[in-house]
Structure 1
Amino acid sequence: MKLIIVGATGFVGTEILRQSLLRKDISSVVAITRRALTSPPSSPKLQNVVVNDYDQYSDEAKTAFKDANGCIWTIAITPSKSSNYFWEEVVRVCQTSTMVGLRTMHEAGMGKPFRFIYMSGIAGERDQTKTPSFKPKYSLMRGATESQVLAFSKEKGFEAMAAKPGLITDGGIAKRAFASVLYYTMSVPSIKVEQCAAAMLEQVVCGIEKEPLLNDDLVEVSMRMEKEGKMV
């Protein structure tokens, strides 16, 4: 499989990259970043393509996309940081860039099969008639992006899925404590970053089991992988 990872220097993207290079069923990895990987893993199957932004793709990037079998898209402005930006910029990063990138991949020539995993969040609300309790404008926008991804995949005939984790942790004491507070005060579940990355990789490589995959689904997939000795 030839895999594209968009946002390979981020918290989750870094872990996806690490695991993808260790999986024998992934033969080629295209890491799309805005800055070059500072300590790139030594692997003959890794190609790092640097772009000016995630809604701008050079001929090099388009060539690298050709014949890919899957993509995991991790780029977004998180809910906690969204208030630090103008709303137009939040939409550009979270929604416009996603669709520009996806269309560019399609135009470059997708391999068969092609699976697109869009990493959204548990608060994303697709039903635009609802008013979510958590950051309603943001949650509706992320849900609308999920719907746009799925509609485009249906139109063009490839597979797509939204992964909707809760709080993603690194196993640190402070993050675990914060995760507990969120769960008991707001019922927000959590998942370890290695579990989230592993579950999304399993879906893009082996096939999408269900859509969407919520936090508990992602945990379940990763635990099954651990039992089967597939965690890397």
Structure 2
Amino acid sequence: MTFKIVLSGVTGRIGKQVLDQALQNPTITSVIALSRRPLPDLARHAKVKVLVLDNFRDYSDNVIAELAGADGCIWCMTTTAGDPVLELEYPRAFANAIAPSLASHGKRFRYLHLSGAFVERDQKKSLWMKADARKTKGRGETQMIKVASESTHGGLWETIIARPGMVVQRTSYTGGVSMWLAGSSGSFIGSDGLALALIDAVMHGSDQLLLPAMLLRRGQELAKLQG
């Protein structure tokens, strides 16, 4: 089995960890990293291709050709601020660019959309904290779920939503204590375990909605297997 994966947000805190785990995974033979700028540190990795996009709303024919044949994508380009451009316009533009090529390759494509634990899809619900950001991210989730029902990809697109809790560095003192206090709730999750869980979901499939406790449990299981 070989796997070609597309990653966005690879310079962010979570995206960097996902990229690192993808590079260590022998089944992943090709990593397409979408970036705003060149990433010279990745030049030594034979299985990485960095695609520099000046505008994440616009995908050239050359970029689309590089994306063709991908098996999945982990979209890590997100922030807690709920920026509509990041949460809505950029992932929608990616779907518009790659979806038409899926039918010609005839294989399922899993798109994993990184979201957050307290995201709200109900746009009419009254919220007392960070309402705009949570609802904007909720609209992003709904938008990308609907892509799976569109006709452009011939029924080959699958959307997975991941809602991790607070992401911490498990090896740091603060991160370790936070995870110990939170127990199995998933309120806190190590970035390494989260990356393992995200990669596993996009490679092997999962529930459509991955909640904090589910991500924590799967990440811990995979870390044990990894040794």
For the superposition of Structure 1 and Structure 2, which TM-score range results when normalised by the shorter chain?
Answer: 0.7 to 0.9
Name the residue aligned to 1:85.
Answer: none
Output one character per residue of 1:65-101: Cα deviation in whole Å (capped at 9) or x when no partner. 111110000112323xx6xxxxxxx211221111111
Question: Aligned Cα RMSD in Å?
Answer: 2.3
Output one character per residue of 1:128-156: Cα deviation in whole Å (capped at 9) or x when no partner. 22123321111111111101100111224
In 2, Cα distance between equivalents of 1:175 and 1:230: 21
1:57 pairs with 2:28: no
What is the TM-score of this pair, normalised by structure 2? 0.86
In 1, Cα distance between equivalents of 2:186 and 2:137: 17
Shift of 1:224: 1.8
Instruction: Give, as a single letter, the amino acid of the residue that structure 2 aligns with 1:120.
Output: S
Which of 135, 138, 143 aligns to 1:143? It is 138
Output one character per residue of 1:183-210: Cα deviation in whole Å (capped at 9) or x when no partner. 6xxx981111111111000011111x21
Name the residue aligned to 2:195.
Answer: 197
In 1, Cα distance between equivalents of 2:129 and 2:222: 32
Q: Decide whether aligned partners of structure 1 residues 188 and 139 sit closer, same or farther in structure 2, where only a CA change above 3 A counts.
A: farther
Unaligned runs of 5+ in 1: 83-89
Query: What secondary structure sits across from 1:147 in the alignment?
Result: helix
In 2, Cα distance between equivalents of 1:169 and 1:132: 26
In 1, Cα distance between equivalents of 2:28 and 2:112: 15
Name the residue aligned to 2:38.
Answer: 36
Name the residue aligned to 1:224.
Answer: 221
1:214 pairs with 2:211: yes
1:67 pairs with 2:69: yes
Q: Decide whether aligned partners of structure 1 residues 213 and 101 sit closer, same or farther in structure 2, where only a CA change above 3 A counts.
A: same
What is the TM-score of this pair, normalised by structure 1? 0.84
Query: What secondary structure sits across from 1:159 in the alignment?
Result: strand
Shift of 1:31: 0.6
In 1, Cα distance between equivalents of 2:28 and 2:109: 13
Unaligned runs of 5+ in 2: none
Q: How does 1:125-204 map to 2 (within 5 A)?
A: 125-156=120-151, 157=155, 158-171=157-170, 172-175=172-175, 179=178, 189-204=187-202
Shift of 1:122: 0.8
Output one character per residue of 1:9-58: Cα deviation in whole Å (capped at 9) or x when no partner. 11111111111111121111101111111411632211111111322223
Which consecutive aligned stretches of 4+ in structure 1 deviate over 4 angstroms post-superposition? Answer: 174-177
Query: Does the 8 Å CA contact 1:65/1:109 hold for their aligned counterparts?
Result: no
In 1, Cα distance between equivalents of 2:60 and 2:203: 26
Query: What secondary structure sits across from 2:113 in the alignment?
Result: strand
Query: Does the 8 Å CA contact 2:17/2:192 hold for their aligned counterparts?
Result: yes
In 2, Cα distance between equivalents of 1:133 and 1:191: 24
Q: What is the number of equivalent residue pairs in this alignment?
A: 216
In 2, Cα distance between equivalents of 1:33 and 1:25: 23
Query: Does the 8 Å CA contact 2:162/2:211 hold for their aligned counterparts?
Result: yes
